[in-house]
A and B are shown apart, each in its own frame.
Chain A
């Protein structure tokens, strides 16, 4: 699938309803062996439900799930060999750390020596060998998180699933664990799905990000592509900052359109027909001060300047209160001041156009 390798985990046409509520609507997703895909989306969009379907903890109404070519749609969770790290970690309180990590192997009735070796290896991987005999209650949040991971790894699952596995950790520990987790997953070459609603986490960790909304995958692509080539208005808005201007398509020619807006006329790639309502948008990084930043230009007055270390985020008020966000380098922002007039420009190639969402009556 990716880089020509065959897909390891395939979700095809999955639909899931709870009573009248359609939580997943014909979801397709193919993940290569060893790839880490993040499900990113707002609360209630169906991320956990999709994960539970892959684990077999919920059954779909329609569609299929295959791992390594084997159809698992109706296979119960204990015969799937899919590991899950739960948000609450779900460690067994009546067992020690080693007892938790050994649990899956003991259920499989592996010989004692083999279990001991696997437990040691899994604990080594998460750097917690020294805690083997501790009771679960005597662990910190970060340690519990790693033990939950070690427990899932010990049985060598085909696929690993993480449901907001890092969200209970404080910021520093979370960032440390993101890097750590990436290292461990690379080391064992596991195929993984990672659920989060933290977009920075998604951008840092993933090989690909699947942006979900209302039970559908809006776009599944590499982090860079999600950011620079959002396929829908939702992706554009949900991941990263952007300037968005509503207008009407004035001309359409050969994959290029002209959109007339209160701020000016902008050119963008797109196939909308003349007369269509459209939103033109761009990312703050593409805007430059002056006229030589590209084919689209706009003028306004500076509303706020936010210093972000090496760069500055400048909010410009253009015609009819429209806001434009520009992320400028230090020397570009050096002689700007709030209230001053400014001219901004950006390349046509970095300008997106989407059909405007229909106004709800």
Chain B
């Protein structure tokens, strides 16, 4: 069984758009809402694409802005200008 990579955000308008983008780009994403926060699990690899977030949020978006809303992550991180990914190799 592949382990889940996950990410959690504080609940707000920006993270709502980010979570929508994750759901669109990651088939199999599981969204769990908890008080004041939202956690998204994806088996194996979770990717956040800048282009999709920009589409949802309606403005240009720097992936490093994610950090303002981040709560926690699980998985090996790789970040470029266009993609932010978390993955487990096994």
The yes or no verdict on A and B being binding partners is: no
The residues of B with any CB-CB pair to A shorter than 8 Å are none
Residues of A with Cβ closer than 8 Å to B? none
